[in-house]
Structure 1
Amino acid sequence: MIKMIIAVSDLHLRDPASNKKGFISFIEEFLKPNCNEMTDLVLLGDILDLWRRNSALVILENLDILNNVCDLGFHVHYIIGNHDFIMKDYSLGRDDRKIPVGLTCDPENVTFGDVQVLYNDGKKFRFIHGHQMDYWYTLPFYEAFARAMCDVTKEVEELSSVWKVLHRQEEGFSSFISKRIQEFSDEWRAQIDRKLAGPLVGHSGTVEESRIEEYNLLGHMIEFKGFPYNSLKALREEIHALSLESKNFPMIPGLKDMGTLTHNNQFEELATSFLIVWKEVFQWMSINKDSRNQDLMKLVRKLQRVAAIFSSDLHQDEFLIHGHGHNGHVDYANSMADSGCWIEDKASFIKIDDGKVSCTPWPIR
């Protein structure tokens, strides 16, 4: 019998909105009774919420939960999210730390990283947090910002501290990003703070409005060089497939223009063409709020899948499992699934069993 893979994300421990009580019941009533039927548990990022908090203290306060899941016998993969980005230090072994101090499990049984690829029943699954899809066109800057948000200490907890931290970390950035950060006005920085570092719940506006607002703020931080791509052939094929959607979405002119791209186009040209379509789709949706339908949402998920190819080296034969969206669902047509979140009264998890993917609410109903 093939054992299952379980994935959860966006618990946001330490944030007042975290459904910590629900997750503890999930450990006791699902993970522990089923531990012998599992090969892997994937923690899909934002398990801890370290933004503008004392990271060491938050980790210490929640070691009991991490130890609980890491001691059950299956392998635990901690995928780095934007709100716990500093956990990436453990995957890099910085300061001779392989796992957080106080984590009692076998170090060989837990891994930290940006991405994990696992197999189940011969099928291939790629796990990422998901912020890589929203910010694919400006990922180097966004992840620098996310890390700085996690790097707060008691001495720099005021609102503007993220920019002080970014300046201290400048030597790790490209010259392009360093120059752009130095050029930001105080007002521009305040706008980025408000948009990217707002409250976890209670957002006003739609998702598509947020995508356009973010693009307007971050569009001049675009840096395509250094993206982790292995196959231009796969990108070209996916871009061509997207261009065929132009007949269904004539209000998105960039889709038709994609059809003129040739097999000689290089990575930056493909990315630029895709970014035009990305922007056009979300602009149209933000203006025509009453026109959202199932076909349009399928197009959005196709865009997300291509964004994951650009930013996370997603392969064409892989089923993508992610979090970040806080909206649990499985999209079989586009081979991708969102594990949902554990915020307020929300709770859900992904189960991969016999190669099949399901998203299930908790408690199971």
Structure 2
Amino acid sequence: MIIAVSDVHMAERPSDRQVKADDARFLEFLDCTASDQLSSGGHLVLLGDIVDLWRRDFVRALIESEPALSRLIEISRKATVHYIAGNHDFHMLRMWELANNRFPFEVTKPLRLEDGMTKLFFIHGYQLEVLANPYCKSVSAYETFSEGLCIAGDDTGNAADKLWDTFNVAKSALDGIKRLPSDLKGAIDSMMQSQGIRMTGPHNTRAMAEQLASSMARVVYLGMEPDEFLISGHTHRPFCNPEERIANTGSWNKEPCDHYSFIEIDDGRVALRKF
């Protein structure tokens, strides 16, 4: 049994009642999953953007997410917990690397699992938006900006401006980035736009990202095997297409998804579920 969930965006806005309600509901989900689907083991795949570190001081965000993180540590004692770095929590990957083998669970960018006769390939999905974005088609640049926004974030929501100031002061921060965007400030500002503007606005990146995901060209640009089933999140739009071997976890009641969505994989069958 495999359970996959993404885009919870815990601690995104601490004073927002709906965010608090969503975070509390996620705790209930973890408790129910631990006592039901994963009671005898299995895999819990946290498919990125579980904690939102872009719009918050990342230390405060982690402290406020402590109840859920504690539950995840408890679950990891009987099931395998996988944490896949998303764009909003990309710094989790760095923390895992620094902690070496003392981190409670492994943090990766891609993940391969098998269930039944089905081979599964998990990514958060920001990689697809990068390829569809007119500002920046370099994944390495996007990941650098993502980690920078995690670290620059504070409770005023000025992470993009602070990151831009950092790059202006310390040009060495850009060393090693391949294919640096010609409009660097525009690229960073674009990343901070709302989900609706980024995905369905002038750039219409959601349509292109989903087209890329369903194309067999994904074998080349994602490093997948031809027979692997791609499971991602990021767009907040849940769907499952077994014929094309692609599914999206949706989100935890974040626009445009209006419910608590996750994916359950049992004996190789991939299915969307609502909590």
After superposition, what is the alpha-carbon deviation per residue over 1:226-261, rounded to whole angstroms, capped at 9, x for unaligned? xxxxxxxxxxxxxxxxxxxxxxxxxxxxxxxxxxxx
Cα separation, partners in 2 of 1:76 and 1:65, compared to 1, 3 Å = same
**For the aligned residues, what is the CA RMSD?**
3.0
CA, structure 1 residues 155+37, in 2 after alignment: closer, same or farther (shift >3 Å)?
A: closer
* 1:79–1:175 distance in 2 versus 1, CA, 3 Å: closer
Q: Secondary structure at the match of 1:12?
A: coil
Q: CA deviation at 1:353?
A: 0.3
Q: Which of the pair has more CA radius of gyration?
A: 1
Q: Aligned residue for 1:253?
A: none
Identical residues among aligned pairs (%)? 26
Give 1:14's aligned amino acid. A
Q: Does 1:120 align with 2:32?
A: no
Q: TM-score, normalised by structure 2?
A: 0.81
Number of matched pairs: 257
Q: How does 1:98-117 map to 2 (within 5 A)?
A: 98=101, 107=104, 110-117=105-112
- For residues 288-327 of structure 1, the aligned pairs below 5 Å read 301-303=213-215, 306=217, 308-327=218-237
Task: Provide, for residues 75-133 of structure 1, a one-character-per-residue CA deviation record: whole Å limited to 9, x for no partner.
Answer: 10000000001111134x22x45456xxxxxx4xx211101111111321111101111
Distance in structure 2 (CA, Å) of the matches to 1:157 and 1:340:
24
Q: Is the 8 A contact 1:80 1:112 kept in 2?
A: yes
Counterpart code for 2:140? P
**Any idea what SS the aligned residue of 1:346 has?**
coil
Q: 1:205 to 1:53 in 2, by over 3 A?
A: closer
User: What is the CA–CA distance in structure 1 between the aligned matches of 2:71 and 2:204, rounded to whole Å?
Assistant: 37
Instruction: Name 1:357's counterpart in structure 2.
Output: 270
1:55 corresponds to? 58
User: Does 1:209 pair with 2:202?
Assistant: yes
Segments of structure 1 that go 5 or more residues without pairing to the other structure are 101-106, 215-280, 283-296
Q: How many angstroms apart in 2 are the aligned matches of 1:54 and 1:318?
A: 37
Query: Within 2, Cα distance between the matches of 1:355 and 1:68?
Result: 26
Q: Compare the two structures and name the one with the higher helix fraction.
A: 1
Cα deviation, 1:15-63, whole Å, max 9, x if unaligned, reads 1364212212212233323322441100000001000421122112212
The structural deviation recorded for 1:64 is 1.7
Cα separation, partners in 2 of 1:206 and 1:28, compared to 1, 3 Å? closer
Q: How far 1:331 moved relative to its partner?
A: 1.0
The answer to whether the 8 A contact 1:302-1:334 is kept is yes
Please tell me whether the aligned partners of residues 5 and 46 of structure 2 are also in contact (alpha carbons under 8 angstroms).
yes
CA–CA distance in structure 2, aligned partners of residues 23 and 155 of structure 1: 22
Tell me, in whole angstroms, the C-alpha distance in 1 between the residues paired with 2:268 and 2:41: 13
If the length of structure 1 is used for normalisation, what is the TM-score?
A: 0.62
